[in-house]
Amino acid sequence: MTAQTSDARERPASASLPDPESAAPPHYRVLLVEDDAGDALLVEELLADTGLDHTLSWRKTLAEARAELVSDGADCVLLDLHLPDASGTAAVTAVQQADPHVAVIVLTGLAESQAGVRAVTAGAQDYLVKGQVEPELLQRAVHYAVHRKQAERAKAELQATQLRAQENTRLERGLLPTPLLDSPAVTATTRYLPGRESALLAGDFLDVVQTDDHVVHALIGDVSGHGPDEAALGVALRITWRALTLAGHRGERLLDLLERMLVAERTRHEMFATCSLLTLDLRESTAVLHLAGHHEPLLTADGATRPVAAEHGVALGIAPGLCHWPATRLAVPRSGALTLYTDGLIEGHDGPGRHRLGAEGLVELVNRVPSQEPPDRQLDRLVGTVRELNADRHADDLAILRLDWRAAG
């Protein structure tokens, strides 16, 4: 074996756990980092006697080994702890930084057993004492080091998945709270779907509260973008809205405070949020609507659904402090429903072509759903149809908030 002569590009893919149904042994890519040619030759002969299916590459310095790991990787590194450019646990750390997935076995001298223990503490999978290694021991060490590293990676990935699931649950509770409704005459039905399977919740948020004057207040909104920052900002806006609403803030003043919160909490200057505020007073049979860059809600009455004609204002965060959000006051029937939604419900395709569903297409779909079915069944039908038409071609989160009310008596 001669230094620098192995062609790493010809090496096969990384070793993997053997298939119980296959008799083929795994192939190991072994990188030896050793500056002594005699010791390197000894390792080469020992590996040849192990019977392992392997490819061996030899590098004399840590710098050369790091370069190879970064460009081509390896399954196992046999690492001498005394190199011209590194020694001890620092060498182990440098190898792990170059390739976090590689298994490391350190090679120590007869009087350096403690150095081997320290290397294992620093992250190596095992250590071997030069001059006391037999082929069987080396075979077992390489095999178990690689598989132990794979097990560590699998465990770390599982823990990361569990942490993401816990984070999703916390974000979901923050974005989609339990409505605070005291009157049995009003019910709230919600639906939320991430744009991608197993995706982190994005910035869609909604809420409903009923104040002491029996007026129902509703919010739905969408922070631009996807990811944990957007979800966290959505949670902050939703919680702020609930606190301010219960404290008596309404309309434009409330939207101005929400915008100030958004500007203070956003992590990037270009982040903004659209939202709809709805105040429903059943005693007066009226509703007041404020739209900040958001879609008009849908009003259902007498078995038919239509969009509400409303004035629009600019999304929160587009022009902080300069926006005007006009109020739209409308009469509502004694029994009916208002449906607020985010744009993920209408921006998907309406079939195999390239045409988008849009608000008009959504109204057509809603009017096809049997009106005698309960609200939750109607929303399930609607969401199912929208997703079927879109066929996963447009990936955006969608949130729906439907308020149903009925006349007393």
pLDDT band at 176 (very low <50, low <70, confident <90, very high): confident
HEC assignment per residue over 246-296: HCCCCHHHHHHHHHHHHHHHCCCCCCCEEEEEEEEECCCCEEEEEEECCCC
Closest-CA residue to 358 (of 378, 343, 379, 338): 343
Check residue 219 and give its pLDDT: 97
- Neighbouring CB atoms inside 10 A of 134's CB total 11
Instruction: Please compute the mean of the pLDDT values over residues 85-90 and round it to a whole number.
Output: 89
Chain center to CA of 288: 36
Cα distance between residue 259 and residue 293, in whole Å: 12
The predicted-structure confidence for 370-396, as pLDDT tens digits, reads as follows 888 999 999 999 999 998 888 776 567
Q: For residue 201, what pLDDT is reported? A: 60
pLDDT digits (tens, 9 = 90+) for 270-319: 999 999 999 999 999 999 999 999 999 999 998 899 999 999 999 999 99
User: CA-CA distance, 296 to 308, in Å (whole number)?
Assistant: 6
Distance of alpha carbon 29 from alpha carbon 118, whole angstroms = 25
What would the pLDDT profile of 183-210 be if each residue is shown by its tens digit?
A: 899 999 999 886 554 454 667 899 999 9
pLDDT at 153: 82
How many distinct helices (H) and strands (E) make up the chain?
Answer: 9, 17
Q: Where does 176-405 sit in CATH, by number? A: 3.60.40.10
Whole-angstrom distance, CA of residue 78 vs CA of residue 116: 12
CATH of domain 8-157: 3.40.50.2300
Give residue 72's Cα distance to chain centre.
Answer: 29
* 130-146 average pLDDT score: 89
Q: In the chain, what are the domain boundaries? A: 8-157, 176-405
CA angle, corner 258, sides to 209 and 217, nearest 5? Answer: 20
State residue 195 phi and psi, 5-degree precision. -70, -25
CB of 334 within 8 A of CB of 292? no
Token couple for 177: 């709270």
Q: Are residues 29 and 78 in contact, defined by beta-carbon separation less than 8 angstroms?
A: no
Residue 229 — pLDDT band, cuts 50, 70, 90? confident
d(CA 300, CA 336): 5
The set of residues, in sequence order, having a beta carbon less than 8 Å from that of 386 and lying 6+ positions away, is 345, 348, 357, 362, 365, 398
Q: Is the predicted pLDDT of residue 407 greater than 80, yes or no?
A: no
CA–CA distances in Å: residue 2 to residues 60, 200, 231, 289, 378: 10, 51, 56, 79, 73
Residue type, 148: R
Alpha carbons 361 and 324: distance in angstroms, whole number: 29
pLDDT value of position 320: 93
Name the most confidently modeled range: 117-126, 184-193, 237-246: 237-246
pTM beyond 0.85, yes or no: no
Phi, psi of 274 (to 5 degrees): -100, 155
Contacts 24+ apart (CB under 8 A), 15-23: 15/75, 15/146, 16/150, 17/147, 17/150
- The H or E element that residue 331 is part of is strand 327-331
The tokens describing 201, both together, are 């919740």
Of the given ranges (152-156, 180-184, 213-217), which has the lowest mean pLDDT?
152-156
pLDDT of 156 > 80? The answer is: no
Residue-level pLDDT at 161: 61
CA 148/CA 216 separation, integer angstroms:
58
